[in-house]
Structure 1
Amino acid sequence: MDRVGVVDEAGRLRLLGSAVAGAAFGVVLAVLVASSWATTTTGLVVGVGVPAAVLGGAVGVWTQLRSWRAAGGYEHAVAVQRWVAEGRVPLGVPAEEWVPALQAQADREGAGWGKVVLCVLWTAMTLSMADQHGPVLTTLLAALWIGMGTWSVAWVIPRARAARALLQRAGAALPGPVEPGPVEPGSVDR
């Protein structure tokens, strides 16, 4: 896996989880689109859903691998998650490395809250259209949206808050930047 590094058992399970989530999203999206032209039946879910699940699963794995590459590889991503879980950055890690890594983790809180808002809106919309979609598609959609919101509330938002708290604590221990003094007119060379 180019620029991802060695993936351990936990990483393989995470890839499997990404594949399952991508497959679920692919099935729901494909069946939702197909239900505009045909009645939602088990045959439609299987006929359209299976190829969509394969494609969605592949996209889920690709997205996870891309995320690890952007984070500096799997091992670096796991190290940053470990720092957040333990509530400390190990000595010897330069600030140029841990500050951006923790900031990226902390910035995920906004995305997590966005998913919660979307979960509420999409679940309400799905339930209001239950008579049009039928029970199978309504159940699939509601489960997908509720799962997305639950994941954000249970995992994404708490981890982002922990990363922000760690960033603030560890950042307070850093020596502050040197403030420039007042500049006298005419004292700057041009």
Structure 2
Amino acid sequence: MDRVGVLDEAGRLRLLGSAGTGASFGVVLVVLVASSWATTTTALVVGVGIPAGVVGAALGVWTQLRSWRAAGGYEQAVAVQRWVADEHVPATVPPDEWVPALQAQADREGAGWGKVVLCVLWTAMTLSMAEQHGPLLTGLLVALWVGIGTWSVAWVIPRARAARALMHRTAASGQTAGRPDQP
């Protein structure tokens, strides 16, 4: 894959998860819009939702690949995740590499909290329109919003905080790896 690198099993599973998330979002979004003109039925979900799910799955995979490219490739993205999980940046990694990589991970905390706020608002809005959309669509929407919010709280925000803490600890330790003239 162009500028992504070789994927291992975890990378392929992550792409599969991105496809599933994109498909879910595509189905829910299109069925929600279509339900403004027609009654939400299983036929509507199947007839309009499946093509939207295919497009959503493709967009989910494209978004994940784009994210890996922006991080310097799949291997680099995994390396940064490993640093955060191990709570240690290897001494051989120069600061001009680990600082921007950890900063990018730390900056995701704001996005995570933004998703949580939006999910609370969207869930409240969805429940207030339950009569209009019916139980099937309302259930799909609530499940989507709760899933996105839970993912942000359980994964995105803690990982961003851990990256920020690692960045501060590593900077405070004076790590100047990659510079032979420094101890």
Q: Give the TM-score normalised by structure 2.
A: 0.95
- Structure 1: give runs of 5+ residues left out of the alignment: 177-190
Partner of 1:171: 171
Compute the displacement of 1:175 (Å). 7.1
Rg larger in structure? 1
Pairwise mapping of residues 17-56 of structure 1 onto structure 2 (< 5 A)? Answer: 17-56=17-56
Distance 2:73 2:174 in 1: 26
Compute the displacement of 1:91 (Å). 1.1
1:4 and 2:40 equivalent? Answer: no
Partner of 1:122: 122
Compute the displacement of 1:146 (Å). 0.4
1:149 and 2:149 equivalent? Answer: yes
List structure 1 segments (4+ residues) > 3 angstroms apart after TM superposition. none
Please provide the CA RMSD for this pair. 1.0
**Count of residues paired in the alignment:** 176
Deviations 1:77-103 (A, max 9, x none): 000000000000011100000000000
Q: Which has the higher contact order (CA 8 A, sep 6+)?
A: 2
Distance 2:105 2:35 in 1: 38
CA gap 1:153/1:175 in 2 versus in 1, 3 angstroms: closer
SS in 2 for 1:127: helix
Distance 1:116 1:51 in 2: 28
Partner of 1:106: 106
Partner of 1:187: none
Compute the displacement of 1:141 (Å). 0.5
Compute the displacement of 1:132 (Å). 0.5
**Taking every aligned residue pair, what percent have the same amino acid on both sides?**
81
Distance 1:36 1:71 in 2: 40
